[in-house]
Amino acid sequence: MDRKQEILKAAAKTFSLYGYKATSVDQIAREASVGKGTIYTFFANKEDLFQAIVLSTIEEMKQQAVRVLDPSATPAENAHKALIKMLEFRETHQLLARLIEEERATKSKAVYDMMQQVEKAIVEFIEQRLSRALPDLETDPKLLAYLLYKSYVAFVVEWNQLYEQPLDEKTISQFFHQSLFKGL
Amino acid sequence: MDRKQEILKAAAKTFSLYGYKATSVDQIAREASVGKGTIYTFFANKEDLFQAIVLSTIEEMKQQAVRVLDPSATPAENAHKALIKMLEFRETHQLLARLIEEERATKSKAVYDMMQQVEKAIVEFIEQRLSRALPDLETDPKLLAYLLYKSYVAFVVEWNQLYEQPLDEKTISQFFHQSLFKGL
DNA sequence: GAATGACCGTTTTGTTATTTTGGTCATTTT
DNA sequence: AAAATGACCAAAATAACAAAACGGTCATTC
């Protein structure tokens, strides 16, 4: 395996384990069995390397979302499935889960920026699927995708932060079909 | 004016000016021209006093929301008006604006809890208006109110955190009538 | 020419001394 | 007698400083 891939692998591992800030470039170099200077021949700086890791994680997430799509299902059902899968990925994937935790605990600009990229990727994915499946929609697909994403986060992730009584997934999907997806 | 009101007035003023954590009980006592001990004859502790201030602020917000309702308007239009007004209040009112800032900058449990109460109050207000205006709704009004609140926050407050291109209020209200309010 | 680690200025962390804080309660004021 | 008060206390926050760790560079090595 070439050195760049070795570095990427080591960085993904250590970032996932300790988070962005708590991982030192020395640590990554040691894990990759590479001199520290070598890292800087492939990446401009620590954040640039971080960016590369996050980008490939986003690709992985999108692939998982594609895999869950069903050509025979309605656009609404596919949007639902894709969103649920991506939100699950966001909370399950070692790196992303670690970054969410790190963002809450500290207030690192770098981590915040990366999580924002993840958000944008999800919205963009939904938007593209939406405008492909429903080409002559009167509403702006970007606004619609953003609304769907924010609504899913609100119900799947944030509901429990505000209310004791948890919300099971059946209730959520039923409610969404009664409200959000009504006009779709 | 009696001492309790004097204390409440002083606390509201200093909390609004310096935030919760940066305001000391001594400071409030001085501002209220009252001995520190007197404060503790009316309130169990600093947070209890804070709570009282926030509760009355919430009442003020709800009153402003009621004032904006129009009996001859549709339930959707009234929900829209009330939400816009309450979100505006949240960002305009000295105390709440200060607390939002404080919550972002530090991670104080007390401030977080209070802002959560504000959120709950907004959702509850919308829920009550909704079930009064539309008594035989097939969807749970609490879920609907929560969806509306979260959607308005997403578009009115959070959109600019993710995208450069700002969203004018006309576009937002038009979009909501095409999507969220379609089934209402 | 690619890889390296000793090296550098800066930032973060650990430590201790000092100050400020929320809350109490014996005393004073009404 | 009841309400008000501020000196007082343990605990928490802050300041000041030393020491360690950090991201990034670059002369040297491979």
The answer to whether the beta carbon of residue A108 comes closer than 7 angstroms to any atom of strand C is no
Both tokens of residue B161? 């955190």
- The closest alpha carbon to A151, from B83, A143, A140, belongs to A143
A161 burial (CB, 10 Å; 0-12 / 13-18 / 19+) is: exposed
The answer to whether the beta carbon of residue B183 comes closer than 7 angstroms to any atom of strand D is no
- Would you tell me how many other CB atoms lie within 10 Å of the CB of residue A69? 15
- Would you tell me how many other CB atoms lie within 10 Å of the CB of residue A149? 24
pLDDT at site A182: 83
Residue B139 CA neighbour count, 13 Å, CB half: 24
Give residues with Cβ within 8 angstroms of B63, minimum separation 6.
Answer: none
Q: How sure is the predictor about B182, in pLDDT bands with cuts at 50, 70 and 90?
A: confident
- Would you tell me how many other CB atoms lie within 10 Å of the CB of residue A15? 25
Instruction: Give CA separation, B114 vs A69, B26, B58, B111, B119, in Å.
Output: 41, 22, 10, 5, 9
What confidence tens digit (pLDDT) does each residue in B101-147 have?
A: 999 999 899 999 999 999 999 999 999 999 999 999 989 999 999 99
- Domains by residue range for chain A, with CATH: 1-43 (1.10.10.60), 47-183 (1.10.357)
CB contact under 8 A, A139 and B183: no
**Contact, A144 vs A130, CB < 8 A?**
yes
Residue B181 CA neighbour count, 13 Å, CB half: 17
**Contact, B162 vs A116, CB < 8 A?**
yes
Chain A: give the shortest CA distance to residue B52, in Å: 20
Q: Which amino acid is at B40?
A: Y
Task: Find the mean pLDDT for residues B94-102.
Answer: 97
The answer to whether the beta carbon of residue A23 comes closer than 7 angstroms to any atom of strand D is yes
CA dihedral angle for residue B125, residue B127, residue B129, residue B131, rounded to 10 degrees:
-160
Task: Find the mean pLDDT for residues B149-166.
Answer: 97
pLDDT at site A183: 73
**Contact, A131 vs A137, CB < 8 A?**
yes
Distance B179 CA to D19 C1' (A): 60
What confidence tens digit (pLDDT) does each residue in B1-29 have?
A: 699 999 999 999 999 999 999 999 999 99
pLDDT at site B107: 87
pLDDT at site A79: 96
Chain A: give the shortest CA distance to residue B180, in Å: 6
Sign of CA dihedral A66, A72, A75, A77: negative
Both tokens of residue A76? 């609404």
From first to last of its 184 residues, chain A has per-residue pLDDT tens of 699 999 999 999 999 999 999 999 999 999 999 999 999 999 999 999 999 999 999 999 999 999 999 999 999 999 999 999 999 999 999 999 999 999 999 989 999 999 999 999 999 999 999 999 999 998 999 999 999 999 999 999 999 999 999 999 999 999 999 999 887 7
- Would you tell me how many other CB atoms lie within 10 Å of the CB of residue A35? 12
Chain D bases having any atom below 7 Å from a protein CB? 3-7, 21-27
Task: Find the mean pLDDT for residues B36-55.
Answer: 98
Instruction: Give the percent of chain B with pLDDT over 70.
Output: 99
Cβ-based contacts (< 7 Å) between A 19-58 and strand C: 29, 34-38, 40-41
Integer Cα distance of B90 and B94 in angstroms: 9
Instruction: Give the percent of chain B with pLDDT over 90.
Output: 93
* Helix B109-133 × helix B94-105 angle, to 10°: 130
Q: Which residues of A165-174 are buried (b: 16+ CB within 10 A; e: fewer)?
A: eeeeeeebbe
**Contact, A123 vs A150, CB < 8 A?**
no
pLDDT at site B75: 94
Distance A114 CA to D30 C1' (A): 38
Residue B85 has pLDDT above 90, yes or no: yes
pLDDT at site B54: 98
Integer Cα distance of B183 and B178 in angstroms: 9
Q: Which amino acid is at A65?
A: A
pLDDT at site B183: 73
Give residues with Cβ within 8 angstroms of B177, minimum separation 6.
Answer: B76
Task: Find the mean pLDDT for residues B156-174.
Answer: 95
Mean pLDDT (chain B) is 96
Q: DSSP state, A183?
A: G
